[in-house]
Amino acid sequence: RVETSDDILHILAVGTTNRMTRSTDFNFTSSRSHAILQLTFEIETQVESGQTLISRSKLNLIDLAGSEKMSTSDEGASYMLNQIAASQKHVKELTSINKSLHALGNVISALSSTNRSHVPYRDSKLTRLLQDSLGGNTRTILIACVAPTTLHTVETLSTLSFADRAKNVKLQLVKANTVIDDKLTLAKAQA
């Protein structure tokens, strides 16, 4: 439970220190894990009848690790074999990132389809955690980071393609999440 912005900044600092990073061909400190900060806000308001109206909202800030592909060239393959021999951890990390991003892509595709019958939220922890943000009663903003150089054209096109699919997600009309706290009514009934 957090009460102040300093509490939130402390949690962000702890999360940042626990985040996996390593050098890649594209980024010296590349994120090798996804980061999700979920903040739930509750505001209590007294209404004229004496009841308490509770408004709830959730803010999800997500930083997704980028996908990577193993090189298929002979030189790249031998380099990758050396890397794999050096650390099976990197292969597991690469597989995990790509698997969760693939599951997220499947959810985005299902949500943007007009004739969907099932949305596979349970295919990964990431999509399960983001279920409310992806297809619930929410307003969602996606910021896609791309590189401005021709060296990163393939990655940039892939990111823009993902963002374009995400743009086509059909969300329901957003409405306020409010509930009435019936403590007062319950107390009167018990009396």
- What does the pLDDT look like over 63-85, one tens digit per residue? 888 776 655 444 555 555 665 55
Only one residue has tokens 């299902």, namely: 110
- Residue 58 to residues 42, 62, 70, 125, 139: CA-CA distances in angstroms? 9, 13, 37, 18, 10
Distance CA 191, CA 176 (A): 32
Residue 20 is predicted with a pLDDT of 79
- Residue 46 confidence (pLDDT): 85
Can you give the pLDDT at residue 6? 95
Poorest-pLDDT segment among 35-44, 66-75, 182-191: 66-75
Phi and psi dihedrals of 131, rounded to 5? Answer: -55, -45
The DSSP 8-state label assigned to residue 50 in this structure reads S
Three-state DSSP at 59 gives strand
User: Nearest-CA neighbor of 67 among 45, 99, 43, 42?
Assistant: 99
Strand bridging mode 35-46 / 52-63: antiparallel
- 4-24 residues labelled b (16+ CB within 10 A) or e (exposed): eeeeeeeeeeeeeeeeeeeee
Calculate what percentage of the chain has a pLDDT beyond 90: 13
Looking from the CA of 81 toward its CB, the CA atoms found within 13 Å total 7
CA distance 40 to 56: 7
In this prediction, residue 179 carries a pLDDT of 77
pLDDT tens column, 119-164: 999 999 999 998 888 887 778 888 888 888 888 788 889 889 888 9
| 20 Ramachandran zone, left/alpha/beta (phi>0; psi -120 to 50) | beta
